[in-house]
Amino acid sequence: MPAKIIDGKQIAADIRAELKAEVEKLKLKGIVPGLGVILVGHDPASISYVTAKEKACADIGIYSDDNRMPTETSEKDLLALVNKMNKDPKINGILVQLPLPKHINEQKVLLAIDPAKDVDGFHPVNVGKMVVGQKGFLPCTPHGVIQLLIRSGVKLDGAEVVIVGRSNIVGKPLANMLIQKSPTGNATVTVCHTRTKDIATHTRRADIVIAAAGRPNTITADMVKDGVVVIDVGVNRIEDSTKKAGFRLVGDVDFEGVSKKASLITPVPGGVGPMTITMLLYNTVASAKIASGLV
């Protein structure tokens, strides 16, 4: 029986509707959540991504402070803007779009963001809170993955989870979140990577496989058991002359093959992608509530 599709677009829409209602209640108390967005340079993918984030803010009623800076912007000027946003009470979250131009130290900029406004969840203070199970801002893509699972009725408690990929953005934080002693954790987690000798040995025993390797066809049908839940975080461009753009987007999973064995699976696009921006909005609203003493 073919797998049921986990519709990331619909789940993201549901969460955004919840956030919109919450923002409307906050506005009745004179509280308007604000997101400061900084884009340096003219990278088309970054421009597209930032534009989508700004539209999402507008859709749910979040104030968006849009700052687009030329490629030649100095590190000093960028840090000055971050510091200004740190002190601005109208800004509850700060987003610096990566990658930055080569002459700017990304780590230095990310460290300059006030952890209380780090809605990407990248600052070491928030990473540390996540690891020890304290409340803080969770990184958006891993948090989105967990929301997809929970809202699709997938049991995490006691589940055998295999994550393929160990990046600081997805693999590592997701593993830490899933092993927490909490309603959104309690899983047994294995992390596979480029030095894992036989990835299939691990994935075949998994109840849940999460692919975040950044390579097409990393997970094929022979690598999973019947009834597995598959979350595909990967986004890869492959040449396709039948498409107007000359390429199409695929994940890290052989969707056609694996979907015949899985019970649930995310598509690419339309799976994990819509959740990343949604959880950024979630963190921004949460930050506004914290700053106002509501939580």
pLDDT digits (tens, 9 = 90+) for 119-131: 999 999 999 999 9
18 closest CA partner among 278, 272, 273: 278
What is the Cα–Cα distance from 276 to 282, expressed in whole angstroms?
10
Q: Return d(Cα 272, Cα 212) in angstroms, integer.
A: 11
Which segment of 88-92, 160-164, 204-208, 244-248 scores lowest on mean pLDDT?
A: 244-248
**What pLDDT is attached to residue 134?**
94
Residue 107, phi then psi, degrees to nearest 5: -60, -40
10 an active-site residue? Answer: no
- Domains plus CATH for the chain? 31-115 (3.40.50.10860), 140-275 (3.40.50.720)
Q: What is the pLDDT of residue 204?
A: 98
pLDDT at residue 249 in the model: 85
Find the mean pLDDT for residues 37-47: 91
Classified as helix, coil or strand, 113 is: coil
User: Distances in Å between the alpha carbon of 33 and those of 112, 140, 167?
Assistant: 21, 17, 30
Annotated catalytic residue, options 53, 117, 172, 261: 53
7 assigned to active site: no
Tell me which H or E stretch contains 98.
none
Mark whether 53 is an active-site residue.
Answer: yes
Whole-structure pTM value: 0.94
Catalytic residue among 118, 120, 232, 254: 120
Q: Which of 97, 117, 232, 261 is catalytic?
A: 97
Which residues are CB-contacts of 165 (< 8 A; sequence separation ≥ 6)?
A: 171, 191, 192, 193, 210, 211, 212, 213, 214, 233, 252
